[in-house]
Amino acid sequence: MNEQIPNRFFSSHATSGAGGAGSTAPGPVELNPQALQALAHLRNDFISPRMLCGVWRLGEAALIFVVGALIWAAKDAAPEGDMVWLAATLAGSLAASAILASAHAYELAFLRRGGLRLWRVAAGLALAIAFVAAGLGFLRPTGGEGFPILGWYLCSLTLIIPARLVLALNLRRWARNGRMERRALIVGGGKNAETLIRGLEMQPGNDIRICGIFDDRGDRRSPPLVAGYPKLGTIAELVEFARRTRIDMLIVTLPLSAEERLLVLMKQLWVLPLDIRLAAHAGELKFRPRTYSYVGTVPLIDLADRPLADWDGIAKRCLDIVAASVAIVLLSPVIIAAALAVKLDSPGPVIFRQKRHGFNNQAVEIFKFRSLYHAMSDPEARQIVTKNDKRVTRVGAFIRKSSIDELPQLFNVLRGDLSLVGPRPHAIHAISSRNETFTEIVDGYFGRHKVKPGITGWAQIHGWRGEIDEPEKLVKRFEYDLYYIENWSLLLDLYILAMTPISLVRTKAAY
């Protein structure tokens, strides 16, 4: 696998006090009262439009299959054990899903409007069932053998059409009360922002809700109110705002000609796990159609995509739950033995708890077997553990070297704080052996928090774990973390899990 990790928006070389909201952590950013009021009006019980459309598509395919299977089970003419009809229903349900998707019948605008548009659903379903039936030889000119095909179609349609009408009513209701929407923040005010907002408001079926405008410029160049939407703060405050609530998208309204300013903005914004788009309505340059994504007819240029969005996130979470549960069962003798050894070796609690950076830079509490003497446990990681550290107990030295001290984090995985695979979570106040904070060493350090941290990771299986006694070690760890985020797949996760035991045998940097 390619291990070089170039990135457009950050410098991977060690820096000293690099500027930008994404690179340093001078302390929590305070939001102004207007931004806090806007936060208070945003609901947390939301429904993701993309997730709902995907779930609906799966649900309809399953419904078509179940109806066909029930008809097959009740069909007296079918020989006992004949599976041809059942295979046809499976093929028909998959074909219907593909045909309806190609007809845009699973897009949010289509699902929301319903009504007369539902003829597309009837036609698409008829085409799928007729195609599969003809291909498998089920349609015959005589006898009653054609009835199951007609019954399959009519029964499926009788269930699908009312369900879609009910869904359309609910979608409109959810849009009104703020549960079904894509939340967007506008980056940059002025005339360009006003043009973008007016264009979005004119789009029928638009599901984007603009939550506010953020701009570093003063009120003279960037008015405090644009098209009825308030300016809520600076770009640094935008980063804090996006970490306190669900935001789906950032739309930058600067022109393409402002290249230097765009690069500065992206170095601040790319650390957020969000879709970042550049408004293209005001640009004079025209690109190939595939360059753009659209909200209705409003063109946007994709600058960055949220990692592990929607189905990818669900697939990874399912892997975490299944694999962590199996690991806890299989490793329970090791877990119990380690707990007893820690308890007998030195006084103090068996489990050590520590606050670490989690997803989107939020603090999470992780569990480990205690490996230091209780009086010297240092929960804020003010002093890094080094080779032959006197604070480490006899049992602690072994469980740290073998990573057995990490096993309680399997319960963090089940709680949803961690993933099995991801960038290793660093302590919030962690420093290197040279007393440098990690944000001082790596420009854009918080970009590694765009996914959940993991018990193991791409950097760890390549040997980048343990003491940070040289800046280059953290830089390499950071680069490997970014590679993982930008190239994630389930196969990559499985590969990392398979290689983790081998890497533990090879490592020499864990103390």
Q: How far apart are CA 231 and CA 251, in angstroms?
A: 14
3-class DSSP assignment, residue 462: coil
Residue 16 lies in a domain: no
Mean pLDDT of the 385-398 span: 84
Tell me, yes or no, if the pTM score tops 0.85: no
Answer with the one of 161, 177, 193 that is the final residue of a domain: 177
On whether the CB atoms of residues 290 and 468 are closer than 8 A, the answer is no
Kindly state whether residues 240 and 299 are assigned to the same domain.
yes
Residue 83 lies in a domain: yes
Mean pLDDT of the 339-357 span: 91
Residue 27 lies in a domain: no
pLDDT at 493 over 90: yes
Q: How confident is the model at residue 186 (pLDDT cuts 50, 70, 90)?
A: very high
Residue 25 lies in a domain: no
What residues contact residue 196 under an 8 Å CB cut-off, 6+ apart? 186, 251, 253, 279, 281, 282, 298
pLDDT at 41 over 70: yes
Q: Which letter does DSSP use for residue 431 in this model?
A: B
% the chain with pLDDT above 70:
84
Q: Supply the range of the domain harboring residue 234.
A: 33-40+181-304
* Degrees to nearest 5, angle at CA 141 with 136 and 146: 60
Residue 21 lies in a domain: no
Answer with the one of 117, 151, 177 that is the final residue of a domain: 177
Kindly state whether residues 439 and 478 are assigned to the same domain.
yes
478, two tokens = 């950071």
On whether the CB atoms of residues 483 and 439 are closer than 8 A, the answer is no
Highest mean pLDDT among 153-162, 193-202, 266-275, 289-298: 153-162
Neighbour-count burial for 443-460, b at 16+ CB within 10 Å, e otherwise: bbbbbbbbbbbbbbbbbb
Residue 381 lies in a domain: yes
Kindly state whether residues 315 and 417 are assigned to the same domain.
yes
468: exposed, middle or buried (C-beta count within 10 Å: 0-12, 13-18, 19+)?
buried
Q: Name the E strands within 165-272.
A: 182-187, 208-214, 225-226, 229-233, 249-252
On whether the CB atoms of residues 426 and 438 are closer than 8 A, the answer is yes
Q: Which letter does DSSP use for residue 115 in this model?
A: G
Residue 14 lies in a domain: no
* Degrees to nearest 5, angle at CA 234 with 39 and 187: 85
Beta bridge partners of 368: 352
What pLDDT is stored for residue 238 in this prediction?
92
Kindly state whether residues 148 and 243 are assigned to the same domain.
no
What pLDDT is stored for residue 56 in this prediction?
93
What pLDDT is stored for residue 267 in this prediction?
85
Per-residue CA distances from 241 to 142, 234, 238, 307 (Å): 68, 10, 5, 19
What residues contact residue 156 under an 8 Å CB cut-off, 6+ apart? 63, 64, 67, 68, 125, 129
In 3D, which of 29, 507, 49 has the Cα closest to residue 268?
Answer: 29
DSSP string, 490-511: HHHHHHHHHHHHHHHHH-----
Mean pLDDT of the 258-283 span: 83
Q: What is the pLDDT of residues 87-137, one digit of tens each?
A: 888 889 999 999 999 988 998 888 887 777 788 899 999 999 888 777 666
3-class DSSP assignment, residue 189: coil
Mean pLDDT of the 363-369 span: 92
What pLDDT is stored for residue 13 in this prediction?
46
- The CATH number of the domain where 212 resides is what? 3.40.50.720
- Contacts within 8 Å (CB) and 24+ apart, 337-344: 338/369, 338/395, 338/399, 338/404, 338/405, 338/407, 339/369, 341/395, 341/399, 342/369, 342/370, 342/371, 342/393, 342/395, 342/396, 342/399
Measure CA 92 to chain center.
32
Answer with the one of 288, 304, 320 that is the final residue of a domain: 304
Kindly state whether residues 286 and 316 are assigned to the same domain.
no
Kindly state whether residues 56 and 201 are assigned to the same domain.
no
Kindly state whether residues 198 and 242 are assigned to the same domain.
yes
Kindly state whether residues 78 and 117 are assigned to the same domain.
yes
SS (H, E, C) 134-181: HHHCCCCCCCHHHHHHHHHHHHHHHHHHHHHHHHHHHHHHHHHHCCEC
Helix axes 332-345, 394-402, angle to 10 degrees: 150
The count of structural domains within the chain is: 3
55, two tokens = 């779930």
Residue 8 lies in a domain: no
Q: How confident is the model at residue 205 (pLDDT cuts 50, 70, 90)?
A: low
Kindly state whether residues 463 and 338 are assigned to the same domain.
yes
For tokens 């035991």, name the residue. 501
What pLDDT is stored for residue 368 in this prediction?
93
Other residues' Cβ atoms within 10 Å of the Cβ of residue 504: 18
Kindly state whether residues 295 and 274 are assigned to the same domain.
yes
For strand 249-252 and strand 229-233, is the pairing parallel, antiparallel, or unpaired? unpaired
Mean pLDDT of the 30-45 span: 84
- The continuous run of DSSP H or E covering 279 comes out as strand 275-279
What pLDDT is stored for residue 481 in this prediction?
93
Mean pLDDT of the 252-266 span: 83
Q: What is the mean pLDDT of the chain?
A: 82
Q: In what order do the strands lie in the sheet with 298-304?
A: 225-226, 229-233, 208-214, 182-187, 249-252, 275-279, 298-304, 292-295
Kindly state whether residues 334 and 470 are assigned to the same domain.
yes
What pLDDT is stored for residue 432 in this prediction?
65
Within a 13 Å sphere around the CA of 193, how many CA atoms are in the beta-carbon half? 26
Kindly state whether residues 391 and 496 are assigned to the same domain.
yes
232: exposed, middle or buried (C-beta count within 10 Å: 0-12, 13-18, 19+)?
buried
Q: How confident is the model at residue 19 (pLDDT cuts 50, 70, 90)?
A: very low
